[in-house]
Structure formats: C-alpha cells, structure tokens
Structure 1
Amino acid sequence: MNKGLMLSLVLFATSIQSYAIESVNHYEMALRAYSEQKTEEAFIHLKNALQTDPSHLPSKLLLAKVYFDNGLIDAAEKEMEDALKLGADINLVLPILGNSLILQKKVDELLTYEDQYYNLSDEGKFEWHLLRGQAYIIQQDSERAAFEFKEAHQLFPNDSRANNTLATLYIRTDFLEQANTLITQALAANSNDEKAWLLAGELALKQADNQQALKSFEQAHALSPEDPKILRSLTMQYLTMELFDKASITNQQVIKQSPQDPTANLIKAWLLTKDGKQEEAKLVLAEISQHLSLLDPEKMLYERNTTMLQGIAELMQGNLKNSQALLLKHIEQSSGDPNALLLLVKTYIETGEQSKALALLEDKKRTVVKNANLGIILIQLYFQEDNLFRAEQTLQDLKSNFPENPEMELIQARLYLLKDQPEMALNAINSIKVASPNLSHQLLKAKILLKNREPEQAAKISTQLLEQYPDNVDVMNLQAAVLLTSEEFDASKKLLDTILKRAPDNISAIFNQSLIAEHQGDLEQAKKELQKIINKIPNHRQSLLKMSELAVKSGDLKQAKTLINKLLAYFPDNTAAKQKLIALYMMERNWPDALMEISRLIQNDRLNPALLIQQANIYAQMRRFDSASSNYRLVYELWIDSPNQLLQLATQQVKSRDYQGATKSLNKVLELEPDSINAKLALARLALTEGKIKQSEDILASLPANKRQTSDYFELKGDIAIANKTLPKAVTDYLHSIKLNNLQQSAFSKLYLLTVKGIGYQDFIEISENTLNDNPDFYSCRKLLADAYLNHQDWKNAEKHYSQLLNVKQFSHSSVILNNLAYIYSQTDLTKAYKTAMEGLENGGNKNPSLLDTLGWILVKQDKLNDGLNYLRQAYVLDSKNPETRYHLAYTLVKLDRISEAKDHLAIAVKSNRYPEYQDAINLLKQLD
C-alpha cells in the first residue's frame, strides 16, 4: 500500500473515530435518559448525535421512538424510512414504522414490506402478524384479521408481554371478546399484573363501562403508583367522570414526574380555568411556552405546540378571534396540524364563516382526507353548496383511507339521495349496523324513505323525532316534507312559515315552499322560490333540476336544455375509468384505488382477460386470494383452448397461491398437449410446493427417459430429495444438474447451502474448482466457493478466492469481501485485520452489519472497548437477528460493567448454536447468573 493511501486511511480512521466517539457518547446519554422517561433530555442528545453524524443509525432509531411516543407519527415514519435506506435491520424498524403507517391508514405502503417476512426474527414475525391484522381491519376483512392475530399468538402463546401486546391490539381493533379472554387469563395467572389491569380498564372504556374502567385503573395504580401511562389513563378517566379533585391529584403526580409535560400542564390549565383562575392558567401556559422555547428552540419535538396551546387557552376563555389567529398561525407553522385544523374550522362555522372554513379545508386537502372528522366537515360544506362532484371525490378518498368507518356509508347514502338514486341510498343506509341511530341518521333515513315513496315509514320516524326534538329546525323540515307528500299543503306551509321566521335563509324550507307552489299550480311562484336559492348557490343541484322540470311544464324546452347542460357542467359523469390511472396506482402500489378503478372498467368490459388478470394481481397484492381465484376461473374459461396462455395463467395462479386453479390449468395444458415437458415440470414443482412429495416424484417418473437429461429435471429431483430429508441424494442430483449445465446458478446455490449443513462439502469444492477452471468469470460461483472455504476455516483457500474477486472491477471495493478477509486476518494479525476492515468501511461498509461486527470485535480484542461498542451497536441495529453480534455486544458490555444490558443480549445469543462462539456465550451467561 502506498504512503498516500496509507495516510488517507489513517486520516479517515481518525475522523471516523472522532465522530464516532462524540456520536456514541450522545447516544449513550440519550439511551439512559430515554430509559428514565426523560424525553426532552433524550431528544437533545439525539439531535446532537445526529448533528455530529447524520447517519448514526442507533440515534435515528431512538429518535423515531421519541417522535412516536410524542404522537409525531409522520416524523417517526420519516426517521424509520431514512434508517431503512441507511440499512437498518427491518426487525428494529418494523414496530415503529409499521404502527406509524397503520395509524395513518397507509395500508398499501405497509404491504410493500410483505416480501421481508422471511427475513424477520420470531419477534419481527409476531409484530408483522399484528400489523397485517390491523391492515385487514382497515380493509374491513375481520376474518383475515382474526387469523393474523391468531398466528401472532401462536408464536408466543405463554409470553405475558406478547399477550398484553396482542390484547392491546384486540382492544384497539374491536376484537373485544378475544381481548377479554387474554386479560382474564393474565389476571388469573397473576392478579398483581398492573399492565393487565390497565388493559382491563381500556377494555371497559371500549365497552362504555366507566365505573369498571375506573375500578381497573385504580387497581393498576395501586399496584404501580409511579407508572406514567397508568397515571395518565387514571387522570383522563377522572376527568371523564368529572372527578376533578382526584384528576388534579393524579395529574400533579404526572407533572412531578415530567414537570414540562405539555398535556399534563394543559389539563392543569383547564382545571384552573374551570375554577375561575384564568390568570393562573395563563401563567401555566406561559411557563410551558418559555420552557419549550429554551429547550426546543427549533420547535422540532413539539411541532410548535406552544402556539397551539395558547390557541386552545383562548378558545377555553371564549376569545374566538384570538383563538383563530393563534390556531391559523400554528397550522401554517406545522404544515397543517389536523387537530388545530379541526378546532379552527369549528370556530369558523360557529361564527358563521363557512366560506373561510371551506377555503381552509380545500387548501389543506391532503391533510383533510387523512382525517375522518375533517373530511366529513368538508363534505358537509360541499353539500351545503351542493357541490356534489367535489363531495364525491372527497368521499372516495375518505372511504379509501377509512373503509371501516360507518359514517362513510351514511355520507354515501346522503350522496346517493342528492344524486337522485334513492334505492341505492336506502340500501346504503340499511347496511349500517348501529345499536341506536343518532338524529342525523334518522333524519336521513326518513328523507330516503320519502324519496322511495314510503311515506308511512318516514312519518313514523318524523313523528317520533318531533316528540323528542320539538324545536329542531331540521326535524320540523322533515315533518313539513312528510305533510307535503301526504298533500296536507296547508299544514306543511304553516310549519314552513314558522321555520322561515326563525331562519329566513333556510334552503330546505324555501325549496319545500316551491314544491307547495308547484302542487298548487302556481309555477311562477315556484320558480321565484327556486331562484332565491340559485341566487345564493348557483350550482344548487336540486333547484336547477326542479327549475328544468318547471321549464318543461311551462313548455320552454330551450330553457330546460340550458339548465340540464348547466347541471352536466357542474356534475360530469365520473363512472368511466382510465387505464393509465390504474397503471399509475399500481406503480405507486396504491392497491385500493387501483382496484376501485379497474373494477369500474370491468363493469363495461367483463370478459377482458388482461383486465381480469390485472385485477386478480391487485387482489393478490391485497392478499384477497379468494377474489383473485374467482378472476382466474373466468380467465381459464376464456383461454381454455390455448396451451401457452394456460401456462401463463398457471404461473400467475401459483404466485397468488391459487394452487388448485394452477393444477387445473396445467392439467388442461396436458390435455391439449400430452407431451408438454414444461407443463409436467410445472406440475411437479407445484406438487412439491404443496408438500405432495410422492405426487411430485410420480410426475417426474412418468417423464420419458429421453426427456430427463436436463438440468431443470435433476435440480427438481434435488429439491424433492431435500423435502425427503435425503441430503446425500440431493447432493448427487444437484451435481448432475450442474454437470448438464455448469452455469446453473440455482443448483450451485442449493448445493452450497447443503455444505453449510455439513453435507457435500468436498463434492461442492471439487465441482466448483473444475467449473471455475473452465469459466473463470463465473463470479457468483467463486464467491460461493470462497464462502465455503471460510465456513470450514480453510483460511488460505478462502483468502485466495476472495483476493481474486477483489481484482474484478465489480468486486474491487466490496465491503462484504473485505469483511471476510478482515475476519480471516483477525485469526493471526489484528493490525492487518483492522486496516482491511477500515478499508471496507471506507467503501460503503457502514451499511454492512457483518463488517461493523468484525470491526467492533477487532477493536474489543485490542481492548478499545468504547470504540468497539460503537461499531457493535451499529451492527446490531442493522441485523438484530445475528446471535454472534449479540454475543460480542454482551461480552463488551460485561467488560464495561453493564451487566443488565449484557444479559438481555446473551438471552438471545444462546438461542442459536450456529456460530463459533456459541459455547463462549453459554459460559458467559452462566458466569453472570
């Protein structure tokens, strides 16, 4: 190595170590603060660590947790996505990232990680099943959700922590019976389990049993008086039940633990305001603002909640204009905080400023459609203007994001009604399952019944509502409409006059007045009433439609056409779908919207095989395999006479796990082409995939002798031997496959995996060396050969082949190969090993967990414990499943006298014996015990 390169490496290593020391120090302090629930302190250390080293993965992961714990879901998502791009281990990223996506209803983004399932540890798989179950709930598929939760439970059936996690999720997703079972079992096993009592309280809240919730929270508090989550839950329950004195006591305990906690101090301010102590409340809020400005000058942790808190305080005191100004400022600063948006919109509506509310919501549309409450308010404002086109667009967005929300079907029913589709409206509202429909629900149902010419049923509802709400204008309008339908015009007009005296601009009352005039034959008066509405709302659909009807009655067909064209301009036909839009949705993996649009296309082209397969692929991506199979059955009938197309169909069916359908397709191919080797091999592979080993063997045995001498045939035989656990036979078959095609990469890989299990090592070495003699550029084979030598501690030959790969351009800076060489050198020369590892680090190895582990371990062996710990931690966050890294971490932590954390890593390290230091890990754990 020349002097210049040596100097560069030294300088690089020095700078890396300098930054590493500063970053790791801040991280370790942040970790300690976080464990002590000192969120703000942890946040400061983490920001300092990342300022020093923006790619310090342990800090990014912990920062994401801090954001998530503080409700900054999108910030947590961003940090975790950045961590993944930097190479963080999916097992460490998934819990926070997955839950962030679920909370934001980003199901499609979540499902993009489906292909990582087999890279997950058992704990990661447990988390994935929980996340996928929640995704199914969002997609209104409770049966599959229950299956996923059951799968999670079977991974850790007797682990109390896992069961509590699952119970929490059951409560959140309304699987209350299952939650109750787990909680009951937990308390039966340990009646002093405070976490189970906390869950019991949360379950009681879901069941609207406030007394039982209070009892459970108080029991949890008695068992663990200092637990912050229990204290917060108990405080909120006291507030709910208006036990303000008790709420003040427990809230003060929260403040004692976390003096600057914004929520706790806001509760304190609210309690002070309730007691008439506005000045003290303002002082509390001022103290919060001052603390946040000093502690968090860039407003990154609390997202400018200082302004938000002040806005809420002004609202509490009835200062609406001041509140609006503060909330608007906060919204602009925080890129559309949905909570602040909701508060501000409500204040606008309360002060009669609907136009401001509408403009604000439209300006923040991307935020609005991700929040059910905001979206519903926006649609209601569109309804007031009768802008059905935009209302429908917004509703489609909301239904995609909140498919399980019954309020969406209520809005859909109202939209159908406004679009003159009363039967669909009635079906929609009848599909809503609620124990006791609220006023708006009953009003809408009565209106729909009137449209469906069921006045008697509507009258029953209106009479009952009028008794309950005698002064409600909407109820009075409903009763007037019922009377009008029954042709009781005088009674109806009298009621409408009463309404218009109270509310002269009431649109419904004016419209009903026009209907009465029409029924009485006074078309000009009817038009005058409608014109009043159109003057106020030019695109009022019902009025324009009724005006066109009146124009027809008056014989003015030209005017009627003008009015209809005006209607079409406002409300164009939006049922047609666009294939390019579907393709875009699929590129974005936006499966729900893609499915929605392609389903509309298929309605107009039901026998298009390409569309049906495309829809089936979307179904499969959404794990709706039954729906995919249904499509494939139809395509099968369309392609029943085409062997090539049926082979194509079978491939798609296997990908979608429609094994029965794939079998049928392949059998049909053989019926059309009895000698199709491709179909027979595909059938044999399919049988093996389904675990039907004997059937797979029989299919291969049925092949003519002259069709068996192919590499694919013998590779499949090797796969069958693996399934039969006759590993020596598998070695023979894979060798035969390679001899027929010595570039059969998959057969080489499978043979190598057998050497890892201690089978066929010499055979693999021999055929690989021979293959490389003939094909020296078969680099993937050389890499497998070097790995095999390394695994068997043949350092000399391993070094030889790794070194040859370094001479190839595409591998010349491979951190993987440099890591393996560093590991080899570490057996005899730690200095050379360190230099090689650092070279790997310089060439992108900061994302290679094995290299970081090797480098860290080398430093530990050199007694540079803190430096080694830094690299070992980085290795861990990239690959938490590696037991060797866990052992190395534990060993180092023991040396640093951090026994408790060391034990946690050792507990995992001893679960696998597939690494050289396994016995060392066992001995160390025994020593610590």
Structure 2
Amino acid sequence: MFPYTRAAIFLPFLVTLTACATFTSNETDKAPYYESSFNDRNRAPASFAPQSVASGPDNTTTIDPLYMRTQADYYFAMGEAYSLEGNSAKALEAFKNTLIYDQESPAVHMRLAAEYLKQGLLSESLTQGEEAAKKDPKNVDAHLLLGGLYSSMKLYPKAMDQYNTVMKLEPKNTEAPLYIGALYSEQKQPDKAVKYFESLAKNPDYTTPHLAWYYIGRVRMEQPEAKYQKGAEEAFKKSLSIKPEFVDSLLSLGAMYTKDKKEEKALAMYREYQKENTPNSRVAEILAQTYIEQGDYEKAYDQLEIIERDSDEPLNVRMKMALILIDQKRFDQAAEKLQEVLKEAPDSDKVRFYLAAVYEETHKNELAVREYKKVPASSTYYGEAVVHTAYILKGMGKLDEAVQTAAEGLKNRQDQPQIYAMYASLLDEKSDYKTASAVLEQGLVKFPENAQLRFYYGTIQDRLGNKSLVVSEMKKVLEIDPNHVQGMNYLAFTWAEMGTQLPEAEKLARKASELEPQDGYVLDTLGWVLYKQSKYSEAVKVLEAAHKYQGTVSVIAEHLGDAYYKQSMVDKAKNMYRKAADLETDKRKVQEIRNKITAIEKQELSSPRMPASVEKPTDKPIAEHAQ
C-alpha cells in the first residue's frame, strides 16, 4: 500500500485553501433575516443588534449585507489563525460561526472538512466535503478531497467516480491520475496503476515526473517476478536521474539491493548520496546502524551527528553517540554528551546511570557516587547503582558508609539479588560473617536458583568453618550452572584443603582452567590439587603459569615455593617464599612464610647440600599450610 492513498495526503492542499469566506455561489450578497431566529432569553440590547434595512416591493426586512460579510470574514480569519496554531477545536468553532453569516460558502465547508480530517474524524470530514461539492459541483478540490476520503474508507468505486469527475472538469489535471493509479494499486491491479503513472511521467505539464517513476517502481517492487523487479530498479533509477536528491527513490532502490543480498552496492549508493548531496538523516540512520553493527563506531558517529542536527527528538541519537564515545574511551566527550541529554531529560535514570559510570571509569569518584545516588529506587538501574556506589565507597576507604548504602538499598528493593551479594561481601570485609550469612539466607529464600548468591553463601560458610556446608553449597551451584568457574574452583580447592575427593577435585580444576586458561587463581587451584596428589613436577609447571598471570598474589607465590621445595629447587623456593612474605599483609601469615625460609636454612646448616639429582624430597613441605 502507498502512503499517498491515505486520507493524510489531502491535508496539505486542504490547509492551503484560504479562499475568502464570503465567496458563495449565490447571485446576491443579501441573506433573508427573520426576527424569530434571534429570539432567545439573553437577547442583546437593541443598540447591538445588526442593522436591518427594508428592501423589495413587499418591504421584506433583511440584514445589512456589509455586516454579514464583515462577520463572516472575521470568523473565517479567526478559524485560519486557530488552524495555524494547531488548535483544531477552536478552528472548528470559528468556521461553524462563519456558516451562520455565510451559509452558501463551499470554502468554509472545505476548511471544516480539513479540520475534522486533522482530528481523524473521517465521517464528519466526509459530510463537509460532500456539502462543499454539492454547493459548488465544479470545485475540483472538493472532489479530490472526497476521492481521498472514500479511498481511505476503502469505498473505491466512489473514490474513482470523484477522480473521474476531476478529469472531466480539468482534463489536464495531474493529481487525479496519480490518485487513480494509487487506487488501482490498492486494488491489486498493478498494470492499470502503472498505466496512469506512466501517463503522468510522459505528461509535459506534470512538474514532478520523478514522483511518477517512483510510484511505478513501488508498484513493480511488490511484484516478485524477475521482469517486474528489473522494471522497479529501472523506474527508481529514472526517478533519480531526473531528481538525484530524491531520497525516497534512493531508499527504495537500496532496499531492493539489500533484499537481493547486495548490501555493499546499497551502502556504496548511500555513501555516494551523502557525499554528493546535502546529507539526509534517513540515509544516515541506515548507515549509522550498519556501521554500528560492523563495529565502525567512528563512521557511525559521523552519521549520528547528521541525524542529531535534523531530528526533532535528538535525545535517543545523543544517547547512542554517548555510548559510542564510551566504547572509544573518549570519556570526557561522553560525559558532555550525557550532560546535554540530562538537561533536556533530567528524570532519565538511564542517562544518569551511564553518566555515573563514566565518572567511575575516569576515577571521579565523588561525582560518580553523587549521580548513582540520584537513581531512584523505582528504576531498573537501581540495583546496579547501589552496588557501584557501595563498591566505590569501599575503595575510598569508607567501608561503614558502603555498608549503610547497601543496607538502605536492600531495604528499598528486595528484588535485586546483586544487592544481597554486595551487602554480604561488605559484611565479610568487616568480618561480620554471621550477619553476612543471614543476609544471603534471606536472598536465597527469594532467589533459590541464583548461582552467584549461593556461591557467596558457600564462601561465607567457609569463613564460619562449616566445610561440609561449603561442599554441599558449591555442589548446588554447579547443579544450577555446570560451567560456574568460581564454583568449580572453590569446590576443588576445598577438597584439596580437606585432602579428600582429590581425583574429582582435579577434574573440576582442569575444567575450570579450560574455561579460564589465563586466570591465575584457577591455575593455582589446579596446581595445588596436583601438589596434594604428589604430582610435583606437573604442579610446578601449572603454578609457574599461575604466578605469571597473578604475580602479586602472595598465596600463589607461596604455593609455587612449596612445589619448588618438593622438587629440591631450594634456592627458587626461598626466593618465592621471600616474595610471598613481601606481598602478604597479614602479619601472622607473614611469620608463617618466614618460618619456612628459616626451616630451610636450618636444614642447610645441619646437613651438607646434596646434588638435586640424588637428593630425596621429604614427604611434607616445610611448615605445611592452608590457603
């Protein structure tokens, strides 16, 4: 279907109908006046009554024609003014008042029809259009209006009659053939439709032949046969040859190429259009989306700038631009763009959240916290805003404030699992394990299938020394999510520490390392499980890889030192222990590590050093430890 067959197409020319309201088909300007028509309960004072005159051989009383004309013109002008302001209700009232003083004016009925059409009142518009045609049968605009209204109501024979009437009244009229072609297209008679459009295209009096070729292309485009598709392509090209900047033909031709999997041809055409003509926002939308999908954000941004300039509602466009700037790590520009959007949409929680995220990324922590805290509890971004706020505050050394933020967030929203997790992790930081456990238990009542909450609950049970509960919870985690790397890793390490289920622990640790081959903690667990099974040579290789990826983690360095010692690589073991001690912040743990170094040095003093090839390792590492 074509947009030009709908009632809306008639609105532009209806709005331009500004004929004088006093134009009528009567031969005289005088209208008969009957005193009874003014006989109401609130009659105006006699001094304000319209001046009457006596005329005719029977001394008939009539209203002064100058007064009638003046009043009609006044109300018509008011109707026009209201219409231009977009106030259809008052425009309708004014035009109805015009009819009181000029009952025979087709122009007034046409203006009423136009205003009713603006409001979507088709039947009322139709009534006024019919009245206009009745009072002035030669009014071409009235017949065109009726044709459009009948067409929109799918009364095609009546619409066709109106357009044929126009053709009889004005044989050279170029609008009627256009609408007749559209009617045939609506009725799935493409050949007849094309016939009328071709007549227009070849008509020297038709000033916009590019439109006729465009319509031919649209008709043929809907016919799947190859010859018609070829005809559609040729029609669009003819349209563009006549008017190269006509974007509708360009987009239709591009749509054909895209449908035929000739995307590059379509894109090349779009790019050429933007280069040779004033850039068009509709073309820019297609190019921008294509560039975004291709990951070419710089080119996408250029097209979005075009859309932003032409858009009546640029907020969504600016948001896309901001996201591209974020992706390109142009954070200062992204913040400026988001601030622009916030000025026009201060209640947009989405925009505020992203602005806060940009501030967080650029370490403007105070600003980030300020914006995160403005995200309302009703927002879908609230849970994440609470988590980020608490995380930033913790990083700023404001742990108590972070705990308070999470507690308040949980009070406002109990349907956000991430808030339970963050609150519990902060309580863990404060060594308040029992409260953390209670918070997670509360969360698991609401979200029993949330793997991450259950994982955190298992880790807290480890803090409380409930190893059996740790194992059972981690198993539940893996039942919910078989590829939960953290769950695999934690369960494998727990079994290694307990010295049980070591073959199963190795399977889990290997699977976790396959999923996360560059995670030093995961590799450390695998190395430690191998160590616990006395597979020291393999353990050294895995733990060296773990230390490579996480070179600043004390426990990994300590594990590697233990493995070196078991392989009689004593100097390497002492060096790794020293590094582990330097990295450790827990004084008690530092002393444990230094005790290992002391034990090795005592052994070296009490017995001569044997070559590594003949030295037998002991069964246990020096000062065996737990992670």
Q: So what's the TM-score if we normalise by structure 1?
A: 0.30
Query: Which structure is larger by alpha-carbon Rg, 1 or 2?
Result: 2
* Structure number with higher helix proportion: 1
Higher relative contact order (CA 8 A, sep 6+): 1
Q: So what's the TM-score if we normalise by structure 2?
A: 0.42
